[in-house]
Amino acid sequence: MQGIRPIRDDEFKKFRQLIYEVAGISMAPQKKMLVASRLARRLSHYQLSTYSEYFELANSPQYPGEFQVMIDSLTTNETYFFREPQHFDFLEQTILPQWKGQQFRIWSAASSSGEEVYTLAMKLAEFFAHKQWEVVGSDISSRMLESCRRAVYPMTRLQHMPDYYLKKYCLKGVREQQGMILIDRSLRQQCRFLSLNLMENLPDIGMFDTIFIRNVMIYFDQDTKKDLIKRITRVLKPGGYLIISHSETLHGLSDQYKMIKPSIYQRKLT
């Protein structure tokens, strides 16, 4: 069996078009080697020598689960707890104190492996000792959702977590689980995870007081961003907050928001 041949431009174009159609992600030409490296393990698994062969296999009804594996491989991004901490400070210091209602609901719209979801859960658990709350996490990757529900993480993902939260909400692994932590059950029970493709019409997931959708739009072109914000806005309560990453903006995408500060927007009441 010969080794894997380098990915050709026409092969990369096939994967690039597919990921745009399925996930709305616009891959720049310089991402060719990233695609090749992420898929190389799957080619080795099936003992294939070309990326065209793998493309055909992943789209074949004979391998019904491989298409999702391919999508997972191309869309997964590593994250960590308390990433961009100013957003969690704003949640704690501004959003939560002014909120009034029966149940506070927050959506992590691209939850990846779950670190953002459980960071939000820690903040809500501290603030709402006697009120109802829920964190909903969603992702296109079934593998990432399994990681979310498992809630087991390497200690390296906790470098930015304050000791208070680490001691209160994380259980350190022993023996074969040494170097890992498990999120406390009290938090896991308050979090729900859904398989969602943000490029499609959203199912009935209810209305939210705050939505986090960070480091997502950086992969999309302008028209895809506009469509995404329209879908997101339909499930954000008037007066609710939309949190994006510091490298993103809503400028030119929607007139239904006012900017509170860079990367933090509030949906207008009318």
Summarize pLDDT for 246-260 with one digit per residue, the tens.
Answer: 989 999 999 999 999
Q: What is the pLDDT of residue 236?
A: 98
Q: Same domain, yes or no, for 103 and 204?
A: yes
Would you call 139 a catalytic residue per the annotation?
yes
* Distance, CA of 68 to CA of 229 (rounded, Å): 25
The answer to whether residues 237 and 142 belong to one domain is: yes
Residue 89 sits in the same domain as residue 70: no
Q: Does the pLDDT at position 1 exceed 70?
A: no
**Which domain does 248 fall in, by range?**
85-267
The answer on 144 and 114 residing in a single domain is: yes
Average pLDDT over residues 62-80: 84
118 shares a domain with 192: yes
Express each pLDDT in 96-137 by its tens digit: 999 999 999 999 999 999 999 999 999 999 999 889 999 999
At residue 50, the 3 state secondary structure works out as coil
104/33 same-domain check: no
Residue 241 CA neighbour count, 13 Å, CB half: 24
Tokens 């159609």 — which residue? 21
Instruction: Pick the closest to residue 91 from 242, 270, 267, 251 (CA basis).
Output: 242
**Which of these is catalytic: 16, 72, 105, 139?**
139
Q: Are 20 and 26 in contact (CB under 8 A)?
A: yes
Q: What contacts 154, CB < 8 A, 6 or more positions away?
A: 179, 180, 181
38 is catalytic: yes
**99 and 219 share a domain?**
yes
Total of domains in the chain: 2
**Is residue 67 in some structural domain?**
yes
The domain that holds 149 is classified in CATH as 3.40.50.150
pLDDT at 93: 97
Q: What percent of the chain has pLDDT over 70?
A: 98
Does pLDDT of 179 surpass 60? yes
If asked whether residues 49 and 178 sit together in one domain, one would say no
Helix intervals (H) in 9-65: 9-23, 32-45, 51-58
Residue 129 CA to residue 242 CA, distance in Å, equals: 24
Pairwise CA distance, residues 262 & 87, whole Å: 10
Lowest-confidence region among 50-54, 120-124, 158-162: 158-162
Name the pTM for this structure.
Answer: 0.84
Does 21 reside within a domain? yes
Residue 107 lies in a domain: yes
Q: Classify residue 3: in a domain, yes or no.
A: no
Residues 259 and 150 in one domain: yes
157 within 8 A of 213, measured Cβ to Cβ: no
Same structural domain for residues 26 and 98?
A: no
Q: Do 188 and 128 share a structural domain?
A: yes
- Burial category of 191 from C-beta neighbours within 10 Å (exposed 0-12, middle 13-18, buried 19 and up): buried
Report yes or no on 4 lying in a domain.
no
pLDDT averaged over every residue in the chain: 93
Question: How many C-beta neighbours within 10 Å does residue 142 have?
Answer: 14
Q: Which of 75, 107, 123 is the last residue of a domain?
A: 75
Domain boundary among 75, 94, 110: 75
What CATH code is carried by the domain that includes residue 40? 1.10.155.10
Band of pLDDT at residue 2, cut at 50, 70 and 90: low
Question: 5, 8, 38, 231: which is the annotated catalytic residue?
Answer: 38
Is there a single domain that holds both residue 58 and residue 126? no
User: CB-based contacts of 111: which residues, under 8 Å, 6+ apart?
Assistant: 117, 137, 138, 139, 144, 145, 148, 193
Question: In terms of Cα–Cα distance, which of 137, 163, 164, 157 is closest to 148?
Answer: 137
Beta strands 236-243; 132-139: pairing state: unpaired
Burial 206-238 (b: 16+ CB within 10 A, else e): eebbbbbbbbbbebbeeebbeebbeebbebbee
The answer to whether residue 228 sits within a structural domain is yes
178 domain-assigned: yes
Domain boundary among 29, 47, 75: 75
Q: Is residue 2 part of a domain?
A: no
How many C-beta neighbours within 10 Å does residue 82 have? 20
Q: What's the pLDDT score for residue 244?
A: 96
- H or E segment and range at residue 222: helix 222-233
